């Protein structure tokens, strides 16, 4: 990919914020931080406009909780066209980590994530929004 250079004028306070971002994320330079911000913005816009997007739903739960796995499977079957893969890891004696890779219309992916995260017994759930 061709890389173009351009000059950026910024207020000092904004430049300080950019440098903080570089430090916090351990970016090698300011260019990488600006790339990160632009890409994040594009992903957010695609999700807001309900375009075809991709992402991952991350769930942590106690597999001893009654009916949780049955209910989670029911929800996943209701939305099966959106699900690319499911990875299940047994974290310890009680806890499971499930990563569900998804692709489809943004609002459908959000609906699937919301239903799963709302299930009784889910300790932590998060939809990671990305785009392709």
Chain residues that interact with Ni ion, rule: CB under 5 A: 63, 90, 96
Shortest approach of Ni ion to residue 100 CB, angstroms?
14
Residue whose Cβ sits closest to Ni ion: 96
Find the shortest distance in angstroms from Cβ 123 to Ni ion.
13
**Which C-beta is closer to Ni ion: that of 33 or that of 96?**
96
Neighbours of 30 (CB within 10 A): 15
Nearest to Ni ion of 39, 87 (CB atom): 87
The distance of closest approach from Cβ of residue 99 to Ni ion in the complex, given in angstroms and rounded to an integer, is: 12
Cβ proximity to Ni ion, 100 vs 109, nearer residue: 100
Query: Least CB distance from residue 95 to Ni ion, whole Å?
Result: 8
Compare residues 96 and 119 and give the one whose CB is closer to Ni ion.
96
């Amino acid at each position: 990919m061709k890389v173009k250079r351009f000059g950026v004028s910024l207020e000092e306070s904004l430049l300080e914020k950019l440098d903080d971002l570089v430090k916090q994320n351990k970016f090698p330079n300011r260019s990488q931080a600006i790339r990160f911000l632009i890409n994040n913005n594009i992903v957010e816009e695609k999700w807001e406009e309900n375009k075809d997007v991709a992402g991952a739903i991350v769930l942590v739960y106690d597999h001893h909780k009654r009916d949780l796995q049955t209910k989670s499977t029911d929800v996943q079957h209701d939305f099966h066209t959106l699900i690319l893969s499911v990875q299940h890891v047994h974290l310890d004696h009680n806890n499971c980590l499930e990563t569900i890779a998804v692709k489809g219309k943004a609002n459908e992916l959000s609906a699937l994530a919301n239903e799963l995260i709302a299930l009784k017994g889910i300790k932590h759930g998060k939809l990671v929004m990305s785009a392709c």
